[in-house]
Amino acid sequence: MLELEIDVKRREFAVSVAFAVADGERVALFGPSGSGKTTILEAIAGLAKLRRGHVRLAGRDLDRCTPPGDGSKVVTRSVPPWQRRVALLRQEPGLFPHLSVRANLTYAHSDADDALLDRIVELLELDGLLEARPDALSGGQRQRVALGRALLSDFSALLLDEPYTGLDFRLRTQLTSLIRTEIVSRHVPAVLVAHELVEAQAFADRLGVLDRGQLLQFDSPHEIVRHPLNRRVAELVGYRSFLPVADSASSALPSGAVIGIHPERVQPGIHPEVGVPIAGALVGMRPAGAGYDVDLDVGGTLVLCRMQEVPTDLTGTVDVTVVAPPIFGFDGNRCRQQKVLR
Whether residue 341 has pLDDT greater than 80:
no
Q: Which CATH number do you get for residue 47?
A: 3.40.50.300
Residue 112: predicted pLDDT: 64
Task: Answer yes or no: do 160 and 308 share one domain.
Answer: no
Q: Which domain holds residue 162?
A: 2-226
3-state DSSP call for residue 201? helix
160 inside domain: yes
Residue 252: predicted pLDDT: 61
Dist. CA 6–CA 93, nearest whole Å: 27
Identify each DSSP E strand in the chain by its residue range: 2-9, 14-21, 26-30, 52-57, 60-66, 75-78, 86-89, 157-161, 190-194, 206-211, 214-219, 241-244, 258-261, 266-268, 275-288, 291-298, 301-307, 317-323, 327-328
CB 200 within 8 A of CB 183: no
Q: In terms of pLDDT, which residue wins out, 9 or 170?
A: 9
CB 59 within 8 A of CB 18: no
pLDDT band at 249 (very low <50, low <70, confident <90, very high): very low
pLDDT digits (tens, 9 = 90+) for 198-242: 999 999 999 999 999 999 999 999 999 999 999 999 999 999 999
Dist. CA 224–CA 326, nearest whole Å: 11
Whether residue 74 has pLDDT greater than 80:
no
The highest-confidence range among 88-92, 112-116, 209-213, by mean pLDDT, is: 209-213
Whether residue 244 has pLDDT greater than 70:
yes
Residue 45: predicted pLDDT: 96
Q: In terms of pLDDT, which residue wins out, 338 or 130?
A: 130
Task: Answer yes or no: do 255 and 199 share one domain.
Answer: no
Task: Please tell me the pTM assigned to this model.
Answer: 0.88
176 inside domain: yes
Q: Where are the alpha helices (DSSP H) in 237-334?
A: none
Task: Answer yes or no: do 158 and 259 share one domain.
Answer: no
Residue 125's CB is within 10 A of a number of other CB atoms, namely 14
Q: What is the mean pLDDT of the chain?
A: 88
Task: Answer yes or no: do 18 and 123 share one domain.
Answer: yes
Residue 212: predicted pLDDT: 95
Please name the amino acid found at residue 41. L
Task: Answer yes or no: do 199 and 273 share one domain.
Answer: no
Determine the average pLDDT of the residues in 286-307.
92
Dist. CA 219–CA 198, nearest whole Å: 15
Determine the average pLDDT of the residues in 282-296.
91
Q: In terms of pLDDT, which residue wins out, 255 or 180?
A: 180
Whether residue 65 has pLDDT greater than 90:
no
Dist. CA 282–CA 317, nearest whole Å: 7
Whether residue 336 has pLDDT greater than 90:
no
145 inside domain: yes
Q: In terms of pLDDT, which residue wins out, 30 or 68?
A: 30
Determine the average pLDDT of the residues in 270-275.
93
Q: What percent of the chain has pLDDT over 70?
A: 90
Residue 75: predicted pLDDT: 59
Dist. CA 98–CA 22, nearest whole Å: 38
CB 56 within 8 A of CB 65: no
Residue 155's CB is within 10 A of a number of other CB atoms, namely 20
How many domains does the chain divide into? 2
Task: Answer yes or no: do 79 and 170 share one domain.
Answer: yes
pLDDT band at 289 (very low <50, low <70, confident <90, very high): confident
Torsion of CA 265, 286, 304, 239, to 10 degrees: 70
pLDDT digits (tens, 9 = 90+) for 34-45: 999 999 999 999
Cα dist. 193→151, 173, 235, 268 in Å?
17, 16, 19, 35
